[in-house]
Structure 1
Amino acid sequence: MKIDTLPSFDEVVKSLHQKKRTKHLLFGNGFSMAYDPKIFSYNALSTFIDDSKNELLITLFSIINTKNFELIMQQLDNFAEIAKVFSNDPELVQKIEKASLTLKNSLIEAVKELHPEHVFIIPEEKSQCCHSYLNDFLSNEGKVFSTNYDLLPYWVLMRNDSKIAIDGFGRELENPEEIIIGKDAEFSELRWGKYKEKQNVYYLHGALPIFDTGIDIVKEEYDSHHYILQKIHERMENKEYPIFVTAGSAKEKLNHIMHNKYLSFCYDELCKIEGSLVTFGFNFGEYDSHIIDAINKSAHYGARGGNKLHSVYIGVFSDENLEYIESIKSKFMCKVNLYNARTAKIWQ
C-alpha cells in the first residue's frame, strides 16, 4: 500500500458525516510543522541548543547522537537510576538530575525563543483556514486535543473570535461581599476550572501560556502593554515555568500528567471520548504509549455505561510513516483507518 492510495481528509470527514459519527481531533507536532518546519521541528530546537553554547547539552546531543529531546531525557533518567545502584557518590546522581532539569528548561526556552513574536505574524488567510479546520470539529460537538506546547491553536481561535472553543479558563469574582456595599467588582486572573464542564479544547502536555501557581492553574494573557510572549518571558525570568510534560518515557509522561490537576483532567477526557478520533501530525512513537492507552480506554467506555470510541483515523505523511503505523495497528483496541495527511489543508 502507498500513501497515494489512501483516502483524503475530505473523504474521511464525508464518511463520518454520513455515519452521523461525532469526530474529535488529536494533533501533534506535525500540526505546527505544517505551519513552519523551520521553527517547530526537533532540528530547529537542537540548533537552538547548539547556539546557546551550553557545553553540557551540546555534549549530550553529540554523545547520544540524536536531535530527539525525548530520547536524551529518557537516557538521562535511566543513567540516574543506574548511578543510584552502582555509585556511592550522591553528587553524581545530583549532576545527572541537574543536567536533565537544564535540558527540560532549555526546551521550554527554545520553544519560546523560536516562536513567532505575536498572533498577527500569522497571515490572515492561514489563520482563517486553520480556524475553519478546527471549527469543523468543535462546531459538531467534537473535542480538540493537542500535545503541542506552542501558541498556534490558541492564537488562531482567539484571533477568529471563536465562540465555541472553551479551554476551561475563566475569571472568578474576588470580592462578592464588597459588591453588596457598592464597591466595584474585582476579578481574578484567568484560572482553570470555572468552565471545565464545558471544556472542548485540551492541552494534554501543557502549553506556553499555562502555569501552575501551586494553588491554581492560570493562563497568561495579553494586556494593553505586552504581547503574551513578553509576559511569559517575564514569568520565566522569575523562575516560573509553563506546564510542560518533558519526560522521556511514556510512563514518566503519565506520572507527570497524573500529578497535575489540569493535565489529569485533560487526559481523563481523552479516555472517554466517543465516536471517532481523527489524528494529524501525531506519530504514535515509542514515547506515546500513554496516548494509545487513553484511546483504548475510550474504546471500552461503552462497557462502563457510555458510548464507546469506534474508530481512529490516523493521518500519515509518507510511505515510511504508513508502514510504521501499519506495524502498530494491533496496539489499538478500536478500528484503525489511515488517510493521506497531505490532503488536510490546515494552513492553506
Structure 2
Amino acid sequence: MKINELKTYQEVITYLNGPRGRKKHLLFGNGFSMAYDKNIFSYNALSNFIETTGDPLIQQLFQKLNTKNFELIMQQLDNFCEIAEIFSDDKTLVPKIKDAIEKLKNSLIDAVKELHPEHVFKVPVEKSQACMNFLQEYINRGGYVFSTNYDLLLYWVLMRNSAQNAIDGFGRDLETNLDGEEYIDPDDFEYSELRWGKHKKEQTIHYLHGTLPIFDTGINIVKVQYDTEHYLLQNVKDRIDKKEYPIFVTAGNGKEKLMHIMHNKYLSFCFERLCDIEGSLVTFGFNFGEYDTHIIDAINIAAKKKPANKLWSVYIGVYSDEALEHILEIKDKFKCKVTPYDARTVNVWGT
C-alpha cells in the first residue's frame, strides 16, 4: 500500500459524518504546528532546548538529575537553594544555584521566542479562521480536541476566534464578598485570575502534555492571560520570575510521561478524558513514536469499554510512504480498527 492509495481527509470526515453519526474527536501533535510554518516549527524547542543551549552547567544538571522535566528541576533547584541558605557554610553555593535557575529561565523564554510569532496578531487572520473552522468540525459536533504540543498556536487561534464550544475548562471565580450589608455595584465586583476546574465538565479543549500559558501555583491550575499591557510571553516570564512554572511534559519515554501526567490534576483529567472517548478518533501530525506508548494505552482503554460507548476506530494521518509503513507495523498495538489516511490533504491553516 502507498500513501497515494489512501483516503483523503475529507473522505474520512464525510464517512464519519454519515448515517452512523458516531462522535469523532481530534488528536494532533507537532505536525499541526509544522503545517503553520515548517521552518520555525521544524523541531520542538521546548523539549530540545537543553541539548541545544550549549551551556555546560545546564547540560550537567539535566544529566545528573536524569530528567528533562523542566518544571520538576526548577522546583528542586528552588528547594535546594532554600535549604543551602540554612545549612551550607559555602558562601558561593547559593549564588551558583541562583545562577543556574536564571539560566534555565532564560533558556526557556529564549527558546519560545525563537519559535513563536511575537504575539497573537502576528498570526494572519485568514489562517486563524481556517484553523478554527478545522477545530469546529469536532467541537461543534460533540467531540473533543486533544493537543500534545507545548506551543502557543492553539492558544492564539482560540483567543482570536470566539467559539461557544471551544471550552478549555478555565474560568474566573467571584472574590467579592456579597454577604455584607452594603450594596456593591456589579461593575465593582472583583474576580480571580483564570483558574481551571470551574468548567471542566464542559471542557472540549485538552492539552495532554500541558502548554506554556498553563501554570501550577501549588493550589490552583491557572492560565496566563494576554492583556493590553503585556504580550503573553512577557506575562509568562513574569510568572516564572515569581517561581511559578509552566506545566508541560518533557520526560523521555511513555512511562515517564505518564508518571508526570498522573501527578498533576489538570494533566490527569485530560488523559482520563482521552481514555473515555467514544466513536472515532482522527489524528493529525502525530506519529505514534516510541515515546508515545501512553497515548496508545489511553486509546486502548477507550476501545475496551462496553459497545454502547466505546472507541471503535482511529484514523491516523500520514505524510509519506515511510510513515505509512510505520503505522502498518504498529497497527496490532491498537485494540480498535486503524485506518491510515493521507495527511497531505488536510488544510488546517487555509491556502
Task: Sort the TM-score into its range (normalised by shorter chain).
Answer: 0.7 to 0.9
Q: Which moved more, 1:259-268 or 1:39-48?
A: 39-48
- Aligned counterpart for 1:281 among listed residues 274, 285, 294: 285
Give the residue type in structure 2 aligned to 1:288: D
Residues 238/302 of structure 1: CA separation in 2 closer, same or farther (3 Å cut):
same
Residues of 2 paired with 1:104 and 1:185: CA distance?
35
Residues of 1 paired with 2:160 and 2:112: CA distance?
21
Give the residue type in structure 2 aligned to 1:345: N
Is 1:137 the counterpart of 2:138? The answer is yes
Q: Which residue of 2 aligns with 1:344?
A: 346
- Match of 1:239, SS? coil
- Match of 2:309, SS? coil
Residues 132/138 of structure 1: CA separation in 2 closer, same or farther (3 Å cut):
same
Q: Which residue of 2 aligns with 1:160?
A: 161
Per-residue deviation, 1:263: 0.4
TM (normalized to structure 1)? Answer: 0.83
Residues of 2 paired with 1:45 and 1:247: CA distance?
11
Residues 188/278 of structure 1: CA separation in 2 closer, same or farther (3 Å cut):
same
Q: Which residue of 2 aligns with 1:78?
A: none
Give the residue type in structure 2 aligned to 1:8: T
Q: Which residue of 1 aligns with 2:91?
A: none
Residues of 2 paired with 1:159 and 1:22: CA distance?
26
List aligned pairs for 1:113-262, cutoff 5 A: 113-178=114-179, 181-183=182-184, 184-262=188-266
8 Å Cα contact 1:108-1:244 kept in structure 2? no
Where does the alignment leave 5 or more consecutive residues of structure 2 unmatched? Answer: 70-99
Per-residue deviation, 1:223: 2.0
Residues of 2 paired with 1:128 and 1:154: CA distance?
13
Deviation string, structure 1 residues 83-134 (Cα, Å, up to 9, x no partner):
xxxxxxxxxxxxxxxx9xx889946752354211111111111111111100
8 Å Cα contact 2:47-2:68 kept in structure 1? no
Deviation string, structure 1 residues 243-263 (Cα, Å, up to 9, x no partner):
011111111111111110000
Deviation string, structure 1 residues 285-331 (Cα, Å, up to 9, x no partner):
1111000000001001226xx50000000000111100001100000
Is 1:333 the counterpart of 2:310? The answer is no
Give the residue type in structure 2 aligned to 1:15: Y
- Match of 2:162, SS? coil
Q: Which residue of 1 aligns with 2:37?
A: 36
8 Å Cα contact 1:208-1:242 kept in structure 2? yes
- Aligned counterpart for 1:263 among listed residues 260, 267, 274: 267
Per-residue deviation, 1:23: 0.7
Residues of 1 paired with 2:8 and 2:219: CA distance?
45
Residues of 2 paired with 1:258 and 1:307: CA distance?
24
List aligned pairs for 1:39-54, cutoff 5 A: 39-42=40-43, 52-54=53-55
Residues of 1 paired with 2:115 and 2:239: CA distance?
17
Per-residue deviation, 1:176: 3.3
8 Å Cα contact 2:53-2:107 kept in structure 1? no
Q: Which residue of 1 aligns with 2:11?
A: 11
- Match of 2:178, SS? helix
Q: Which moved more, 1:116-125 or 1:174-183?
A: 174-183
Residues of 2 paired with 1:113 and 1:124: CA distance?
22
Give the residue type in structure 2 aligned to 1:314: I
Aligned length: 314
Give the residue type in structure 1 aligned to 2:36: Y
Give the residue type in structure 1 aligned to 2:261: I
Per-residue deviation, 1:21: 1.6
Q: Which residue of 2 aligns with 1:89?
A: none
- Match of 1:339, SS? strand
Per-residue deviation, 1:198: 0.4
8 Å Cα contact 1:104-1:246 kept in structure 2? no
Residues 60/176 of structure 1: CA separation in 2 closer, same or farther (3 Å cut):
closer
Per-residue deviation, 1:239: 3.2
Q: Which residue of 1 aligns with 2:22?
A: 21
Per-residue deviation, 1:230: 1.3
8 Å Cα contact 1:49-1:110 kept in structure 2? no
Q: Percent same amino acid at aligned positions?
A: 63
8 Å Cα contact 1:220-1:232 kept in structure 2? yes
Deviation string, structure 1 residues 37-81 (Cα, Å, up to 9, x no partner):
2222327679966774413567999x9xxxxxxx9959xxxxxxx
Note the aligned Cα RMSD (angstroms): 2.9
Per-residue deviation, 1:153: 1.2
Per-residue deviation, 1:2: 0.8
Q: Which residue of 2 aligns with 1:307?
A: 309
Per-residue deviation, 1:185: 1.7
- Match of 2:250, SS? coil
Where does the alignment leave 5 or more consecutive residues of structure 1 unmatched? Answer: 64-70, 75-98
- Match of 1:210, SS? strand
Is 1:296 the counterpart of 2:297? The answer is no
8 Å Cα contact 2:276-2:302 kept in structure 1? yes
